[in-house]
Amino acid sequence: MKKPFLFLILSCFSLSVSNAQITEKDTLLTISGAPIYASEFVRVYNKNLNLVQDDSQKEVDSYLKLFVNYKLKLTEAKALRYHKDPTYLKEFKSYKDQLTQSYMTDKNITEDLIREAYDRTENEVKAQHILVLIDEEETDTLQAYSKIQTYRERFLNEDFESLKKELHNGKSIFVEDLGYFSAFKMVYNFETAAYSTEVGQISEPFRTRFGFHVVKVLDKRKSRGQVSVAHIMIATTQNDTTLVAKDRIQELYRLLQQGDDFGALAKEFSDDKSSAIRGGELKPFKSGQINSEIFESTAFSLSPSNPISEPIQTQFGWHILKFIAKTPVKSFEELQQNLENQVGKDSRSKIVKAKMLTQLIEEYKLSSQISNVAVFESNVSLNSKNDDWELAKKFDVNTPFLIIGSKTYTHQDFLNHLNKNKKSINKKWSTTVVVKKQYASFLEQSVIQYKKENLESENQEFAHILNEYREGLLLFELMQDKIWEGAKKDSLGLQKYYNENKDNYTWPDRIEGSVARSSNSKTIKKVRKLWGKNTSNADIKTALNKIEQKVMFSNGEFELGHPALPQDIELQTGISKIIEENSNYYIINVTAVNPAAHKTFEEAKGQLIADYQTVLESDWIKELRDKYEVNINSSVLQKVNTLISN
């Protein structure tokens, strides 16, 4: 079970209650005396309403039972001190850090960057570049810059492939053809340089965290948007040793040319079972999302006038593609949330962070404290013997240096920061420069950290979502131990449950043999006659499929209802009668009949564990309701009912 799924189900804390009928302190229920407020329940109910598929559970009383069960589990988790477990605390901190980061942004700057990213999403750039690699912290850049200037001159006048052959070493110098790309495919300043350079031109040298670049823009075009296709895939590796993937895909291609239905063939023959049930249809995709260049280019080359591709081979097997639709880039409104998430993870975030810092300095009124920096500078010096910065002996190091809200940093705190980061200090810098640079770093770290530490008390929305993570993760750990893993480890209980419920775990009727399919009744009669003479499927295909695809075979074990089987089939060995179904003709050469039977313990184990988990959880809830006293405030519940029904 994946934790993100759990959090989806439990995501219930981002809505606030504005109706005056219910206050934030109205207690809906208590569990062993601990209050749980109506405002929380209403947030839970409103947010999860669309996730509840059982309409009966949308009734307040029914949903309240689920809510109480949820709170009982959390109460038990805390009683067992899961919230003190180091692994839990570490993972919760990781989630909190991720969530906090999304709130450390300036909305106006972010909006501008989102708009710019959308413009670039609508367009693709094709480019080549030369990179002279240097360390991100390197300050002596003259030699590297001189190199990139020289390479730019050569780039202007020489063939790219010749330059690549001579200069590219994959270590310090890179000469690369980047193909087409759009927003977020490159670091932000590289992306900006590429979009700002005219087609056919080479940019001036610029620096990224990798080093110095020049980029040549070969082409700019509108994004191809998304394409929807269906496919039939025949995997290269087959259980049926008589089946050759390339031959089978050619058979299917001939059937399509003869007018057979693509979706029906996909359901019957495609080895991509996840799409076969939908007639081979895949989710829409855009450039760069499919891990196969030939698959992607083939898909985008299709159109209503050219709907079916010839067979192509990828690393997964052989495919035939069918065009469904092409859609342009989605509107800004549709992509806005996704773009905002990407901006927060991209190098663009540094721009947002700088603006955020300026705002926080104003919010916490820190500009007036700059005088303390001058005091510090006049009392600090570098001890050349141990290479440490020291404050004058008579200076009181515990006096306030920087005050942010309720947090006070002393001169000693800043001195510690100075010495902690002394490796980044150039010894040629004056004391004034050192203090100035390090104060900027100290101020940024301290202000941002203070904001992060106080977000939960300053921002109600953040507090609700953080609590969702806190409780969701806690519940996941308890369920993992108590139910999910508990069911797997309880071998005696599983065996007992299996023995008592064997009739729930059965194999349906199955046959073993070969299925022949043709759209021509004469062909299928020939197959029946040849089977009667013990002619092999391979020889029959050779004889009948010389000019056109007349017959196809499927071999193996088939459950009744399998897409390769016709509906009207008799469970007996031998060659069946000819069956006509959906304008096709079938015969089955049945070598064995495997009637319905109980699955063995091992065969049923997957479904068995899932069912046993449900039983364990139901019994556990009963135990928790006996263990903890639950009292519901009927008058507050009535107010909740009135509020929700309105």
| pLDDT, tens digit (0-9, with 9 covering 90-100), for 114-125 | 999 999 999 989
Burial letters for 321-333: b for 16+ Cβ neighbours within 10 Å, e otherwise?
bbbbebeebeeee
CATH code of residue 73: 1.10.4030
Q: Please report, rounded to a whole number, the percentage of residues in the chain having pLDDT higher than 90.
A: 65
Q: Which of 373, 384, 257 is nearest to 310 (CA)?
A: 257
Residue 168 counted as domain residue:
yes
pLDDT at 10: 40
Sheet holding 211-222, edge to edge: 173-181, 123-133, 211-222, 206-208
pLDDT at 44: 83
Residue 92 counted as domain residue:
no
Weakest-pLDDT range from 23-27, 54-58, 138-142, 169-173: 54-58
Domain ends where: 177, 199, 222?
Answer: 222
How sure is the predictor about 292, in pLDDT bands with cuts at 50, 70 and 90?
confident
- Tell me the C-alpha to C-alpha distance, in Å, between residue 356 and each of 107, 108, 361, 571: 9, 10, 9, 73
Q: Examine the pLDDT at 639 and tell me if it is beyond 50.
A: yes
CATH code of residue 255: 3.10.50.40
Residues 54 and 169 in one domain: no
Mean pLDDT for all residues in the chain: 89
Residues 446 and 512 in one domain: no
486-523 residue pLDDT tens: 888 889 999 999 999 999 999 888 999 999 999 999 99
Residues 454 and 465 in one domain: no
Residues 430 and 464 in one domain: no
Beta carbons of 252 and 320 less than 8 angstroms apart: yes
pLDDT at 55: 63
Residue 427 counted as domain residue:
yes
Distance between CA 249 and CA 316 in Å, rounded?
Answer: 13
Domain ends where: 277, 308, 325?
Answer: 325
Residues 248 and 284 in one domain: yes
Token pair of 347, please?
Answer: 């190098």
Residues 268 and 405 in one domain: no
Residue 118 counted as domain residue:
no
Residue 113 counted as domain residue:
no
Q: What domain range is 167 assigned to?
A: 123-222
567-582 residue pLDDT tens: 888 889 999 999 999 8
The total domain count for the chain is 5
Residues 181 and 232 in one domain: no
Q: Examine the pLDDT at 370 and tell me if it is beyond 80.
A: no
Residue 108 counted as domain residue:
no
Residue 281 counted as domain residue:
yes
Residues 152 and 192 in one domain: yes
How sure is the predictor about 288, in pLDDT bands with cuts at 50, 70 and 90?
low
pLDDT at 458: 85
Residues 204 and 232 in one domain: no
Domain ends where: 262, 294, 325?
Answer: 325
Residues 159 and 75 in one domain: no
Q: What is the mean pLDDT of residues 301-328?
A: 95
Residue 474 counted as domain residue:
yes
Residues 612 and 550 in one domain: no
CB atoms within 10 A of CB 224: 16
Residues 234 and 217 in one domain: no
